[in-house]
Structure 1
Amino acid sequence: MTMLPVAICQAKPVPLHIDSGIDKAVELTKAAIADGARLVAFGETFLGGYPVWMDEAPGGALWDDAGSKALHRILMEQAVVTGDERLAPLQALCDDHEAMISIGAHERVRSSLYNNQLLFRPGQAPLDHRKLVPTHGERLVWMRGDGSTLGVHDAGAAKVGNLICWEHWMPLARAAMHNLQENVHVAAWPTVRETYAIASRHYAFEGRCFVLAAGLVQDKADVLDGLERCGGHDAARALIDAIPGDVLNRGGSMIIAPDATVLAEAGEGEETIHAQLDLAQSDAELASLDTDGHYSRPDIFTLDVNTAPQQGVRWGD
């Protein structure tokens, strides 16, 4: 029987200030690994924090808003890049402990920001998953990803993948991931509210896989603190101050089995939850439902997935 010990670190990010966020992620991961975890998951854009001002700040999405522009500049300056040396401590933890870490980050590629859920794994470069469709106001912050970052990591007994937030309501994205034989899935959310918990449990049942639905905890005071760590900005502070209420993200993380039962569940505060995944359960549940196999109708339905990077500009000789 193959067991995989996992954990979700439901924690406050250090909004905007990436170096501080990496330091916190390293300490939380060390503690989770010390308690036995070999896969550790964090919520959506833990590194940099979720840009909640686009949803919650009155006027934040208006054209030419000075506060939003200042915050975007900070995100651009702080964002991680491919091969970023600041991420080396996370890679070292994976290498030293034969562990995996799924963590969200703001990533800069040329002049655009992406919402990337990075999967660190031992002895290899991190596996990228860039959010395919930023939701609603997020489109003012993040670029769309492409099919080149739809994939899973083959860890032997486990095939591990990520999707982010409302991608779990993209039926064809789910079908593509199920086809990759994913049996452990990280569902990254800002808060695992009721409908997001339903989507995560549905994904587990449909895909016959374990799901780590990972959420954040984030207060307005955290965003203001991160802003000050990045040098502050009056217009950005005014925009954040205008957000009603103090609590912006409320956790709700859970670990779900392939039959949709909840194995572990967090509250609204900072905590780390653990579970032991019996990977054989995925195969057992396939007896009744295999959406990529005996419950599919390839004579009726087909799905083509374009995995070519979409660069927009092609340079040739």
Structure 2
Amino acid sequence: MSRIVRAAAVQISPVLGDDGMGTARKVCRTIREAAEKGVKLAVFPETFVPYYPYFSFIKPAFRFGAEHLALYERAVSVPGPITDMVAEAARETGMVVVLGVNERDHGTLYNAQVIFDATGEIVLKRRKITPTYHERMVWGQGDGSGLTVVDSAAGRIGALACWEHYNPLARYALMAQHEEIHCAQFPGSLVGQVFADQMEVTIRHHALESGCFVVNATGWLDDEQVRQVAGDPALEGPLRGGCFTAIVSPEGRLLGTPVTDGEGMVIADLDFALITKRKRMMDSVGHYARPELLSLLLDRRPARTVHYVDDAACEGGAP
């Protein structure tokens, strides 16, 4: 029997310059607008709350200390007031929400993806395993504990951020857990058209290879925000283009018209019968796999800087 879930990929601009609550309120308004259209799964862009660190792409590290510190002050605690607000909107609308945030954990920021179930419960918080290029000066590294597919009211969901999609083993880790919907997030308003072109290839290929739906959301900066972030007309060019918000079927087809400029939503009905149709032909982790030849070792233990040993369990009381 076919099961159909209506999904929305959201292209949206942040509220710059506030404490993150303005952007979070915008997320909640958008969730409620999507609910009026029958949406049951909404995906928002990479590190959307409070905003993606665009400054790190256009400025050398020794010049963006003030912007980095401001991001620390506005970053999100998980759980915390901002996630509580989004959880309430998810619960109120009965919607699964995938949100990208800058997470602060004491002295380190992380690129985090948070999945809220339709009950408002956080069913996954994962961190980008390898920040890309300029991002390595902003965020710490995630670990294998987040390479997890979770059950939700919308189906089995996996998520990766941006160029994590260029790590084939990370993608395979989610494929092997039989994700039905893959939620992808990119910053948008970055690099230019070539970034959008590459993004389309990436998400369509993953849909084909995994035999799943891909819901991809990118952020967007309007002209005034580009000027505000750049602070110099010579730096504005790299902050334009690079948007490709889209939904892809397991057959690699685009469902609806992608959003490449401005704010908007791509909404599509995901017919899960297409997953079986695709996997009957090619199941990368089933009948098309050769595990006796090729396999993946995934360490899903959370990374820890300190390992505590109970003194009472040690001989002589020494760890």
Normalization by structure 1: what TM-score? Answer: 0.89
Check whether the contact 2:3–2:271 (CA below 8 A) recurs between aligned residues.
yes
CA RMSD of aligned residues (A): 2.0
1:254 maps onto 2:255 in alignment: no
**Structure 1: tracts of 5 or more residues without a match:** 228-236
Within 2, Cα distance between the matches of 1:108 and 1:241? 31
Contact 2:114 2:122 in 1 (8 A): no
What CA distance in whole angstroms lies between the structure 1 residues aligned with 2:274 and 2:227? 44
Question: CA offsets, 1:217-239, max 9 Å, x none?
Answer: 114632676x8xxxxxxxxx85x
Task: Indicate the residue corresponding to 1:10 in structure 2.
Answer: 11
CA–CA distance in 2 between the matches of 1:206 and 1:101? Answer: 24
The CA distance in 1 between the partners of 2:233 and 2:45, in whole Å, is 24
Once the two structures are superposed, residues 20-53 of structure 1 have per-residue CA deviations (whole angstroms, 9 ceiling, x without a partner) of: 1101111111101111100011111111222122
Distance 1:296 1:137 in 2: 36
The 8 Å contact of residues 159 and 183 in structure 2, kept in 1 or not, is answered as: yes
Q: Does 1:204 align with 2:197?
A: no
- Provide, for residues 207-257 of structure 1, a one-character-per-residue CA deviation record: whole Å limited to 9, x for no partner: 0000011111114632676x8xxxxxxxxx85x666234853553211100
Report matched runs for 1:185-200 at 5 Å. 185-191=182-188, 193-200=196-203
Question: What pairs up with 1:8-157 in 2 under 5 angstroms?
Answer: 8-15=9-16, 17=18, 18-57=20-59, 60-61=60-61, 64-65=62-63, 68-123=64-119, 124-155=121-152
Cα distance between partner residues in 2 of 1:39 and 1:223: 29
Which letter maps to 1:196? M
Q: CA deviation at 1:152?
A: 1.9
CA spacing shift, 1:157–1:217, aligned 2, 3 Å:
closer
Alpha-carbon separation, structure 2, partners of 1:249 and 1:118? 26
Point out where structure 2 has 5 or more consecutive residues left out of the alignment. 189-194, 311-319
Q: Quote how far apart the aligned CAs of 1:280 are.
A: 1.5
- TM-superposed deviation, 1:267: 2.9
Judge conservation of contact 2:4–2:272 (CA < 8 Å) in 1. yes
Describe the SS at the equivalent of 1:129. strand
Aligned-residue offset at 1:160: 1.1
For 2:235 and 2:154, locate their aligned partners in 1 and report how far apart those are by CA, in whole Å: 46
What is the rounded CA distance, in whole Å, between the counterparts of 1:35 and 1:21 in structure 2? 21
- Does the 8 Å contact 1:16/1:49 carry over to 2? no
CA distance in 2, matches of 1:102, 1:156: 13
Paired position in structure 1 for 2:313: none
Q: Is the 8 A contact 1:2 1:157 kept in 2?
A: no
After superposition, the Cα gap between the structure-2 partners of 1:41 and 1:157, relative to the gap in structure 1 and judged at 3 Å, is closer
Instruction: Indicate the residue corresponding to 2:180 in structure 1.
Output: 183
Query: Could you tell me whether the CA contact under 8 Å between 2:32 and 2:93 is conserved in 1?
Result: no
Q: Are positions 1:263 and 2:259 aligned together?
A: no
TM-score w.r.t. the length of structure 2 is: 0.88
Q: Which residue of 1 is the match for residue 219 of structure 2?
A: 216
What code does the residue aligned with 1:2 have?
R
Q: Aligned-pair distance for 1:261? A: 0.4
Check 1:223–1:128 CA distance in 2 against 1; reply closer, same or farther (3 A cut): farther
1:189 positional shift: 0.9
Answer yes or no: is the 8 Å Cα contact 1:15–1:47 preserved in 2: no
Aligned mates of 2:25, 2:241 — CA distance in 1: 21
Query: Helix, strand or coil: the match of 2:126?
Result: coil
Per-residue CA deviations over 1:52-91 (Å, capped at 9, x if unaligned) read 222223xx23xx32xx111111111111112112222211
1:284 equivalent in alignment to 2:287: no
Question: Which residue is 1:299 aligned to?
Answer: 292
User: What is the CA–CA distance in structure 2 between the aligned matches of 1:81 and 1:217, rounded to whole Å?
Assistant: 24
The alignment partner of 1:128 has SS state of strand
Bigger shift: residues 215-224 or 84-93: 215-224
Check 1:157–1:76 CA distance in 2 against 1; reply closer, same or farther (3 A cut): closer
Higher relative contact order (CA 8 A, sep 6+): 1
Aligned length: 300
SS in 2 for 1:55: helix
Query: In structure 1, how many angstroms separate the alpha carbons of the residues matched to 2:45 and 2:90?
Result: 18
Query: CA–CA distance in 1 between the matches of 2:28 and 2:46?
Result: 16
**Which of 250, 255, 268 pairs up with 1:275?**
268
CA contact (8 A) 1:15 1:223 kept: no
